[in-house]
Structure 1
Amino acid sequence: MDTETRKARASAWFRTLRDQIFTAFEAIEAESADIPVLPGAPAAPGRFQTREWTRTDATGEPGGGGTMGIMKGRVFEKVGVNISTVHGRFPDDFAKTIPGAEDDPSFFATGISLVAHMANPNVPAVHMNTRFLVTTKSWFGGGADLNPALPRAEDTADFHAAFKATCDAHGEDHWNRFSKWCESYFFIPHRNRPRGVGGIFYDYLECPDDAAFEANFAFTRAVGETFVRIFPKIVRRRMAEPWDAEARLALLRYRGLYAEFNLVYDRGTVFGLRTGGNTDAILMSLPPEARWD
């Protein structure tokens, strides 16, 4: 299988997964008629609005682009689901930090990125992304992690169990490696605490041949499919629970913590900004409202 076929297959899957997530999340919004909502919440269930964007590479040539998908609804205060397929040449200093780009800074990257900030403080925020990168090497990366302001043991256990089952089906050491990697990656040193309650994080699943590509692509697809199964289950469990001003304040303060991580430490934010991506799409992970008091 040639590299162009691999690129096309990965890009097509991320678009398919995006469409599945749109459908799943809009179905939840359609069930929001009788739940407690924020003052000023939309009267009608939320629906995704999409916007295409393109980028010009640092070389001056067209560099691909993507589609932003944003929904502001009654259950989902703000959720972004973005897909992108970009290419070009890394800046020389940045190329030195990317596997396979040290001598040849040409790159291709395609992926999906999702962040959901929920209106009800009892419903956890969530992050998920998967991606395929090509330099002189090629690899998959991604993961999903749960980010509750008010952690619930049942939600954490179900989220972890779902991804453990997926990991176990694709590699005997996947869960051990990728859950620990998630814990260490989503840690905020200046606060000396984790961002959320974990999940999985993986990177550099290299594809030197067709067998490795198929195995790592299958795992990456399974990660996305697992997310579509487990997160809506958790949302439906919590979205009708009542909350008060104290719980809302806890949520807003937690969102400040979330924003700190994404602006200071997140690799995806750095990658997008350093490669001339769409700023609005890159920063869609930021919450609609947060507090630091």
Structure 2
Amino acid sequence: MKDKFYAYIQNLQNQITSKLEEIDGEATFKEDKWTRAEGGGGHSRVIENGAVFEKGGVNISAVHGALPESMQNYFGVKDADFFACGLSLVIHPKNPMVPTVHANWRYFEMYDKAGNIVDQWFGGGQDLTPYYLFEEDATHFHSICKKACDAHNSDFYKTYKKKCDEYFYNAHRNEGRGVGGLFFDYCKATDDMSMQNWFEFVSEVGDSFIDAYAPIVEKRKELEYTSVQRDWQEIRRGRYVEFNLVHDKGTLFGLKTNGRIESILMSLPSHVQWRYNYHPEKDSEEAKLIEVLQNPKEWVK
């Protein structure tokens, strides 16, 4: 399974970066291959200062070795080895009318000292973070997510949409990071779902990403914007940074397993602001976004 999933994310990385380069029309992804001293490595692809994308990364990794003590404590195990691979992406467009997007699809195995698999699971998801709320964009993104889920289980979308709203939440701000999408983790074999079934589900979600995001970018990338709207984008990016550094489990895992710091922090935008006690004007387009972030909506039925 680990070989099958790693081959899948290698191919998916190629598909996604090719499509995003086509949309940008100017900048290309630069690949940076790296190795981890304890075992494994990855391929980071980063795009910067393009016509459409200010900064973005589409990274894959496959790492293995002894599970660090901090992670042993987290999982409640001792003397375990692990293998983890995944694709993680974050795209920050230049135009504030185009939303930031994040996605991650991953697979994890844990072994005893004899090399036997003692646990394995899939995780992942994709979520949208707009700066200005176009409800039809949120509906489109969620519709694609629901279609991918419904192909496998009619309860998946409702369940994983709720988990996404709960996970990508800045509790210290009492607001969501964005308008959500899907989030699933610890997807293990059961009587109803084999690991092959989970692979098929996760790969269907991964394959749906371009259909979910690319049409939104194409529709919004040429819209005009003001310096005030650009400031708002950078202020909201500050909330994005806060979530990734305070709450995100993926960032924590990378830091505690001696991952490559440049790849772990590629999710941070190039330009960001923190203004003291800033609040948008009442009834403004900016306030409209905050209302939805504080009160998650059901975008599709």
**TM-score calculated relative to the size of structure 2:** 0.86
> What pairs up with 1:11-30 in 2 under 5 angstroms?
11-30=6-25
1:188 corresponds to 2:170: yes
User: Contact conserved, 1:137 with 1:208, CA < 8 A, in 2?
Assistant: no
User: What do residues 107-159 of structure 1 show as CA deviations (whole Å, max 9, x unaligned)?
Assistant: 00000000000100000000000000001211110000000111210100000
Determine whether 1:114 maps to 2:95. no
- Select 2:46's aligned residue among 70, 76, 80: 70
The code of the aligned residue for 1:105 comes to A
Q: Which residue of 2 aligns with 1:150?
A: 132
1:229 Cα deviation from its structure 2 partner: 1.3
Structure 1 residues 214-270: Cα deviation after superposition (integer angstroms, max 9, x where no partner): 110011111111111121111001001000011101100000000000001001100
1:136-285 pair list within 5 angstroms: 136-207=118-189, 212-285=194-267
Does the 8 Å CA contact 1:18/1:83 hold for their aligned counterparts?
yes
Per the TM alignment, residue 93 of structure 1 is displaced from its structure 2 partner at its CA by 3.1
Paired AA for residue 283 in structure 1:
L
Instruction: Judge conservation of contact 1:92–1:105 (CA < 8 Å) in 2.
Output: no
Higher deviation after alignment, 136-145 or 208-217 = 208-217
Structure 2 distance, partners of 1:145, 1:105, is 32
* Amino acid corresponding to residue 119 of structure 2 in structure 1: K
| Residue identity opposite 1:134 in structure 2 | E
Deviation (angstroms), 1:185: 0.1
Q: Distance in 2 between matches of 1:207 and 1:8?
A: 18
Deviation above 6 Å: which 4+ runs of structure 1?
Answer: 208-211
| 2:50 corresponds to 1:91 | no
**1:42 maps to what in 2?**
none
What secondary structure, in the 3-state scheme, does the structure 2 residue paired with 1:171 have?
A: coil
The normalised TM-score by structure 1 is 0.89
CA distance in 1, matches of 2:241, 2:138: 21
The equivalent of 1:79 in structure 2 is 56
Identity of counterpart residues, as a percentage?
Answer: 42
Matched, 1:288 2:255: no
Q: d(CA) in 2 for partners of 1:264 and 1:88?
A: 26
Deviations 1:43-79 (A, max 9, x none): xx0000000001112xxxxx10001100111101001
Could you tell me whether the CA contact under 8 Å between 1:66 and 1:85 is conserved in 2? Answer: yes
Amino acid at match of 2:4: R
2:88 corresponds to which letter in structure 1?
Answer: S
Contact 1:252 / 1:290 at 8 angstroms: preserved in 2? yes
**Cα deviation, residue 213, structure 1:** 1.4
Counterpart AA for 1:118:
P
Provide the C-alpha distance between the structure 2 equivalents of 1:292 and 1:93, rounded to a whole number of angstroms: 32
1:211 deviates by: 6.3
Aligned-pair CA distance for 1:96: 2.5
**1:49 touches 1:70 (CA, 8 Å); kept in 2?**
yes
> How far has the Cα of 1:173 moved from its partner?
1.1
Task: Determine the C-alpha separation between the residues in 1 that align with 2:192 and 2:178.
Answer: 36
Deviation at residue 22 of structure 1 after TM alignment: 0.9
The amino acid that maps onto 1:213 is: M
8 Å contact from structure 1 (residues 186, 196) kept in 2:
yes
Deviation at 1:207, TM superposition (A): 3.4
Could you tell me whether the CA contact under 8 Å between 1:111 and 1:131 is conserved in 2? Answer: yes
How many residues align structurally?
A: 267
2 CA distance for matches of 1:208 and 1:223?
A: 20
User: What's the secondary structure of 1:250's corresponding residue?
Assistant: helix
Cα offset, 1:210, TM superposition:
12
State whether residues 137 and 207 of structure 1, in contact with CA within 8 Å, keep that contact through their aligned partners in structure 2.
no
Q: Any idea what the Cα deviations from partners look like across 1:146-201, whole Å, max 9, x if unmatched?
A: 00111210100000111011111111210111000000000001101000001000
- Matched with 1:37 is none
Structure 2 residues without counterparts, runs of 5 or longer: 111-117, 276-301
